[in-house]
Each structure stands twice: as structure tokens, then as C-alpha cells.
Amino acid sequence: MNSHIHENDIGTKLSIKVTDDGHIVDISVATTLIILIRKPNGDILTVSGELETDGTDGIMYYITTPGDIDEAGNYKIQGKITLPNGIFYTTVGTFMVHCNL
């Protein structure tokens, strides 16, 4: 099975590694983890992120549900983390969603 994401896939894990100047950020004390997903049509989906482990690895993720990736094209993804010393955004990443027959 290939690893491409296709439109209307459900259960796809989208991960973000939070870094600052190339160093992993400990997000174990974050009070909120938000993942912003911009669809090809410009709509922005805002979902809650989950810690991959205990947060010291800086990785948060989201598992897609029906309607999340409902069109083919280029998507953008960004994390928003609330820590005791402020609110921070990650670098914007991209991923491609392929069409079905």
C-alpha cells in the first residue's frame, strides 16, 4: 500500500514536530494544542492536537475524520501551542491530497 493521502481518507495521522531554531520544543506543559489545516479552497479547519508521547519529543498529531480532507490538492498545516510563557505557532507545512477515480 502506498503512503499517499487521498480525498475522503479517514483515519490519516497528521503529525507536527514543534521546533525552535532547530531544537525540539518540550510541549508537555502546553495547555492547548491546536492544528490549523488550510484546504485548497482556502477554508481553514481548526482541530485539537494530541501529544504523540509525553510531549518532550515536541510531536503533536491529529487523526482525520469524515469531511476533513474532502478535496484533492495542496493543503497547508500549522500548529498553535499555548505554553505557560505564551502562544506560539509552528512553521507552515504542506501536504498533497490526491484525487480518487
In the chain, the domains with their CATH numbers are: 5-96 (2.60.40)
Average confidence (pLDDT) over 74-79: 98
Integer Cα distance of 63 and 15 in angstroms: 9
pTM for this entry: 0.92
What is the per-residue pLDDT for 89?
A: 96
What is the per-residue pLDDT for 3?
A: 76
In the chain, the percentage of residues whose pLDDT exceeds 70 is: 98
Q: Between the CA of residue 67 and those of 7, 18, 31, 52, what are the distances in Å?
A: 9, 26, 27, 23
What is the per-residue pLDDT for 2?
A: 53
What is the per-residue pLDDT for 1?
A: 42
pLDDT tens per residue across span 27-65: 999 999 999 999 999 999 999 999 999 999 999 999 999
Integer Cα distance of 21 and 29 in angstroms: 20
Nearest CA to 26 out of 70, 76, 88, 74 is that of 88
